[in-house]
Chains A and B, each alone.
Chain A
Amino acid sequence: MTRYLLRRLALAAGVLLAAYTVTFLVLYALPGDPVSIMYGGESSDVTPDQLDALRAEHGLDQPLVVQYLTQLGHALRGDLGDSVVSGQPVTQLLGSALPPTAQIAGLALLVAVLAGGSLAVVATATRSRRLSGFLLSLPPLGVAIPSFWFGLTLVQWFSFQIPLFPALGNQGFASAVLPAVTLALPTSALIAQMLSRSLLHTLREPYVDTALAKGAGRARVHLRHALRNAALPALTVTGLVVGGLLSGAVVTETVFSRAGIGRLTATSVSAQDIPVVQGVVLVAATVYVLVNLLIDVIYPLLDPRIVTGARRRVAPPTAPSPSPTQAHGSDADQAAARVAVPAGGTR
């Protein structure tokens, strides 16, 4: 396990370095530079000499390689530089932008898992074909609705028309509700889509019939046996959507006038404020890497067949069979556990 974690951490460092490098190159490939955007506007008041002096002050006159290595060296020591626009240290800007974004992203993830999970369970459990069909048609709709429009609609209804929540700013929990719901919509739709598909697949497995034949209740089979096995792919997707939550914050925080990583990204990208954009990318990449590492660590807890120490990890199956950990329950459980399963799942 330790060796596995060390290997994963080394990979994570590689991912961060790659993200940092690619961002640097992309930003330098753009026309213009932060100094001319900020100071060299339409007025003819600023002389080219003054602009050059400012470029020298920010090190923008150095060759590309020198700039890259200098910035990387500082970054490794925890110094991400200063914003070209406001002069504030990037670490300070990130430090004040992270908590409000973490608040709505965390809340959104909770809402998404609960809403997406319940939709999938109800849609696959109901005997009504009509209800099931209706519920299963919601996730594609949820993915298709633009967050920008959805957010504005929520503000229109639940702030302007019915004054339940404030429309502006970071004013405690009440102001986090609508942004979190906006962020949660596409995420919950993805989770619902993945989980319902995986549940439908799992419910066709022979062990389900066996469990039912042994007299286990539908609800028990659905929640204890099928859901647990069907949850793995949904968990993988959840790891991926955390990245989606961060990018969704750009639109959500703009619509809801909130400070955070999303606003910081939007304003620093348009000003080509390179040090800040680099910092934002590093933070996003770190979060992404950590969440996926966490999920890799959780897999074996749900399915012991996934051995993390092994050289070649068994991929999480789409619809795996019940795990031996479930085998100490009722008769039906044991019966289900004894059903022969094809090795490596049914993918």
Chain B
Amino acid sequence: MSLRPRPSRTLRVALAAAVLALALTACSGEESPSADPSGSASASSATPVDGGDLTFAIGNDPISLNPSGIGSGNDTLYVTRQLVDSLVWQDPADGSLKPWLATAWKANAEQTEFTFTLRDGVTFSDGTPFTAASVKANFDDTAAAGAKSSAVGNFIGYKGTTVVDDHTVTVAFESPNAAFPQATSTVALGFVADSTLAIPYDDRASGTGVIGTGPFVLDHYTKDTETVLTARDGYAWSPQDRDGAGAPHLAKVTFQVAPEASVRTGSLTSGQVQVIGGVQPTDIATLEQAGLTLVHRANPGITFGLTFNGASPFGKDPAVREAISLAVNPTEIRDTALTEGFAVAVSPLASTTPDVADESAHLVTDPAKAASVLEADGWAKGSDGIYAKAGTKLAPTLVWITNFGPNQTSVELIQSELKAVGIDAKLWSGTVPDFQAKLAAGDFDLVWGNLSRADGDVLRTQYTTQGTNFYKIDDPELEKLLQDQLAAGDPAERSSLLAQAQERLVTQHHVVPVHELTTYLGLSDKAHGIELGADSRLDQLTTAWVG
């Protein structure tokens, strides 16, 4: 028992110490770069200064500046969010939907038709007006782009958009799509001008000719180097419920690509940039010690954890699933692999997801009970201390990839926790294509991962057996809940169905939620008003200023 977390913990401490030592030498040169007596916390409530330039270091090249295209994830969306506006704004405070380019919206009882009333006086940066026709043209364009658009999932069964009048549109689907209003808050469903839509879809990636209604316009994009945006004139349609949002204070924003996390951190501490994204958990302590502000928010969506392969012999066996759920200790994993800023999961959904239900009563760690569950099911320990039944050793394959730094520590700790009970988990990792091939072939028992999205419908996209799904969870009752929530007209009814789905996922032990993912941005004392949206990605920089 006492041997379990030792090797990885020692290694981590040593690494952390090394990083810290490097960072301390880095900061010792300039103790206080600015003579500003006020702390950054009080400074952010000071009067915003107009006309500053902000440099924001991101880890990946955006690849595509087409708002509905596929780029490199968060880093792309940080940039494109500044170029386009959406019909609704999702309030990060409670996940509720608030007016933006749409002043009101309603759905029919079947949740197949959604009618939006549009705001007046909105223009694209080329001066053309934003109207109901713009909404139709954009949605038709995105639906036609199919798999090339990151919004493809929002347009399944898309029948079309009808222009009722200049200020009213109705979007219709073949089947219920109660998650659609939330989907309209995303960047992928933001709007570009007719002149942009006239450019072939593939040719919009460079950003040339991409015209939005957003507070910033593209100045230039240099691949692998920088994307420079400038404030547009006359921007007056920020979400009215977003505090302090209006015409942008910043004159220019430069998103600078810096692939190395330690270089981003050093650039921030040495004052070469004002904001950094992609802060690694190992760098959090460094930045805090340097007295820098960290803006953070837990990512909504599915938490990091284990999901069983419902089609594999081990994943099919309820006793094995229950024993593994009981053997895994999420708190120990969080404490070892991460920092306090990453919460222990209380549900398959993260705490910032709308309709999250607290399932912590069902999430119990009890290794002794895990053993008795296995023994009651006919498993017996062999001479090597590993359970076996009918000649089959309890040695499930756990697959994972390094898309998040601490993953290795987490899965290795899970392996030792399972070993302590008598389950000999085999870890497998590989490149992204290898991983995808492994999942597609169903050649695994457990998979470690997460998925960010700011709506409970993420449970359906992840666990339904109707799409191209790798988990093959054979549970008709769960499937019904996942499909019914998409047809629920009453928000309270939908909330209740989603809560039942979360409970079913953990009580049937299809998933073992472990920890939430938290997004961190690092800020110099010159940067103020940098905010994360409901999707825990950078919100529009209309509240931001430097000074």
**Chain A contacts with B in 208-237, Cβ cutoff 8 A:** none
Known: A42-B451, A47-B147. 12 other contacts (CB 8 A): A32-B433, A40-B468, A45-B461, A45-B467, A86-B63, A86-B205, A96-B222, A97-B224, A161-B270, A168-B256, A168-B272, A257-B258
Does A88 contact B205, Cβ atoms closer than 8 Å?
Answer: yes
Contacts of A67 in B (CB 8 A): none
Q: What's the Cα separation between A44 and B463 when bound, in Å?
A: 9
Flag B255-268 by CB within 8 Å of A: 1 or 0 each. Answer: 01111101100110
Does A30 contact B433, Cβ atoms closer than 8 Å?
Answer: yes
B353 within 8 Å of A (CB atoms): no
Contacts of A163 in B (CB 8 A): 270, 272
Does A160 contact B206, Cβ atoms closer than 8 Å?
Answer: no
B490 within 8 Å of A (CB atoms): no
Q: What's the Cα separation between A42 and B70 when bound, in Å?
A: 14
Among B22-30, B45-53, B328-336, B506-514, the stretch that binds chain A is: B22-30
Given A86-B205, A170-B225, A257-B258, is A43 in contact with B147 using a C-beta cutoff of 8 Å? no
Contacting residue for A152 out of B259, B262, B272, CB 8 A: B262
> Whose C-beta in chain B lies nearest to the C-beta of A266?
B259
Contacting residue for B266 out of A44, A97, A156, A162, CB 8 A: A156
> Whose C-beta in chain A lies nearest to the C-beta of B152?
A45
Q: Can you list 14 A-B contacts (CB < 8 A)? A: A32-B436, A37-B436, A43-B451, A44-B153, A44-B461, A46-B468, A82-B202, A155-B266, A168-B256, A169-B225, A254-B260, A259-B223, A259-B225, A267-B224
Q: What's the Cα separation between A166 and B256 when bound, in Å?
A: 12
Contacts of A254 in B (CB 8 A): 259-260
Q: What's the Cα separation between A192 and B350 when bound, in Å?
A: 58
Does A43 contact B433, Cβ atoms closer than 8 Å?
Answer: no
Does A258 contact B225, Cβ atoms closer than 8 Å?
Answer: yes
Given A37-B433, A50-B152, A87-B202, is A167 in contact with B267 using a C-beta cutoff of 8 Å? yes
Does A259 contact B224, Cβ atoms closer than 8 Å?
Answer: yes
Does A169 contact B203, Cβ atoms closer than 8 Å?
Answer: no
Q: What's the Cα separation between A208 and B353 when bound, in Å?
A: 82
Does B263 contact A257, Cβ atoms closer than 8 Å?
Answer: yes
Flag B240-276 by CB within 8 Å of A: 1 or 0 each. Answer: 0000000000000000111110110011011011000
Contacting residue for B222 out of A37, A53, A259, CB 8 A: A259
Given A45-B467, A155-B266, A255-B263, is A161 in contact with B433 using a C-beta cutoff of 8 Å? no
Contacts of B368 in A (CB 8 A): none
Flag A99-135 by CB within 8 Å of B: 1 or 0 each. Answer: 0000000000000000000000000000000000000
Does A161 contact B26, Cβ atoms closer than 8 Å?
Answer: yes
> Distance (Å) between the CB of A127 and the closest chain B CB?
39
A54 within 8 Å of B (CB atoms): yes
Q: What's the Cα separation between A163 and B271 when bound, in Å?
A: 10
Does A44 contact B467, Cβ atoms closer than 8 Å?
Answer: yes
Flag B117-155 by CB within 8 Å of A: 1 or 0 each. Answer: 000000000000000000000000000001110001100
B464 within 8 Å of A (CB atoms): yes
* B interface, over-half SS: mixed
Given A50-B147, A170-B225, is A267 in contact with B61 using a C-beta cutoff of 8 Å? yes
Q: What's the Cα separation between A168 and B146 when bound, in Å?
A: 37
Q: What's the Cα separation between A31 and B257 when bound, in Å?
A: 29
A51 within 8 Å of B (CB atoms): yes
B164 within 8 Å of A (CB atoms): no
A48 within 8 Å of B (CB atoms): yes
Contacts of A167 in B (CB 8 A): 258, 263, 266-267, 270, 272
A287 within 8 Å of B (CB atoms): no
B57 within 8 Å of A (CB atoms): yes
B109 within 8 Å of A (CB atoms): no
6 shortest A-B CB distances, which residue pairs?
A: A32-B433, A45-B153, A44-B467, A259-B224, A87-B202, A50-B147
> Distance (Å) between the CB of B461 and the closest chain A CB?
6
Q: What's the Cα separation between A43 and B259 when bound, in Å?
A: 25
**Chain B contacts with A in 433-449, Cβ cutoff 8 A:** 433-434, 436-437, 449
Contacting residue for A96 out of B223, B273, B449, CB 8 A: B223
Does A54 contact B29, Cβ atoms closer than 8 Å?
Answer: no
Given A53-B147, A88-B205, A169-B256, is A156 in contact with B26 using a C-beta cutoff of 8 Å? yes
Contacts of A43 in B (CB 8 A): 153, 451, 461
Contacting residue for B437 out of A32, A170, A267, CB 8 A: A32
Q: What's the Cα separation between A39 and B69 when bound, in Å?
A: 10
Contacts of A260 in B (CB 8 A): 224
> Distance (Å) between the CB of B373 and the closest chain A CB?
30
> Distance (Å) between the CB of A89 and the closest chain B CB?
11
| Count class of interface residues, chain A | 35 or more
> Distance (Å) between the CB of B439 and the closest chain A CB?
8
B156 within 8 Å of A (CB atoms): yes
Q: What's the Cα separation between A174 and B203 when bound, in Å?
A: 34
Does B148 contact A36, Cβ atoms closer than 8 Å?
Answer: no
Does B226 contact A159, Cβ atoms closer than 8 Å?
Answer: no
Does A166 contact B272, Cβ atoms closer than 8 Å?
Answer: yes
Contacts of B464 in A (CB 8 A): 44
**Chain A contacts with B in 133-186, Cβ cutoff 8 A:** 152, 155-156, 159-163, 166-170
Contacts of A36 in B (CB 8 A): 433, 436
> Whose C-beta in chain B lies nearest to the C-beta of A52?
B147
Most A CB within 10 A of own CB, among B152, B156, B464: B152
Contacts of A292 in B (CB 8 A): none
Does B29 contact A161, Cβ atoms closer than 8 Å?
Answer: yes
Most B CB within 10 A of own CB, among A37, A168, A258: A168
Given A51-B147, A167-B272, is A160 in contact with B449 using a C-beta cutoff of 8 Å? no
Q: What's the Cα separation between A88 and B223 when bound, in Å?
A: 11
> Whose C-beta in chain B lies nearest to the C-beta of A169?
B225
Most A CB within 10 A of own CB, among B25, B269, B272: B272
Does A46 contact B226, Cβ atoms closer than 8 Å?
Answer: no
B17 within 8 Å of A (CB atoms): no
A272 within 8 Å of B (CB atoms): yes
Does A44 contact B469, Cβ atoms closer than 8 Å?
Answer: yes
> Whose C-beta in chain B lies nearest to the C-beta of A85?
B63
> Whose C-beta in chain B lies nearest to the C-beta of A152?
B262
Does A160 contact B148, Cβ atoms closer than 8 Å?
Answer: no
Does A54 contact B148, Cβ atoms closer than 8 Å?
Answer: yes
**Chain A contacts with B in 1-49, Cβ cutoff 8 A:** 30-33, 36-48
Contacting residue for B263 out of A161, A168, A267, CB 8 A: A168
**Chain B contacts with A in 359-377, Cβ cutoff 8 A:** none
> Whose C-beta in chain A lies nearest to the C-beta of B147?
A50
Q: What's the Cα separation between A233 and B262 when bound, in Å?
A: 40
Q: What's the Cα separation between A272 and B22 when bound, in Å?
A: 35
Most B CB within 10 A of own CB, among A30, A40, A44, A166: A44
Q: What's the Cα separation between A53 and B147 when bound, in Å?
A: 9
Contacting residue for B203 out of A30, A87, A170, CB 8 A: A87
A200 within 8 Å of B (CB atoms): no
Most A CB within 10 A of own CB, among B147, B223, B270, B436: B147
Does B64 contact A86, Cβ atoms closer than 8 Å?
Answer: yes
B500 within 8 Å of A (CB atoms): no
> Distance (Å) between the CB of B91 and the closest chain A CB?
25
Contacting residue for A159 out of B61, B272, B436, B469, CB 8 A: B272
B432 within 8 Å of A (CB atoms): yes
A75 within 8 Å of B (CB atoms): no
> Distance (Å) between the CB of A167 and the closest chain B CB?
5
**Chain A contacts with B in 228-252, Cβ cutoff 8 A:** none
Contacts of A38 in B (CB 8 A): 70
Does A257 contact B223, Cβ atoms closer than 8 Å?
Answer: no
Q: What's the Cα separation between A89 and B433 when bound, in Å?
A: 24
Contacting residue for A31 out of B226, B256, B259, B434, CB 8 A: B434
Contacts of A40 in B (CB 8 A): 436, 468
Q: What's the Cα separation between A82 and B467 when bound, in Å?
A: 30
> Distance (Å) between the CB of A97 and the closest chain B CB?
8
Q: What's the Cα separation between A101 and B202 when bound, in Å?
A: 27
Contacts of A161 in B (CB 8 A): 25-26, 29, 270
Contacts of B256 in A (CB 8 A): 168-169, 257
A98 within 8 Å of B (CB atoms): no
Does B225 contact A155, Cβ atoms closer than 8 Å?
Answer: no
B462 within 8 Å of A (CB atoms): yes
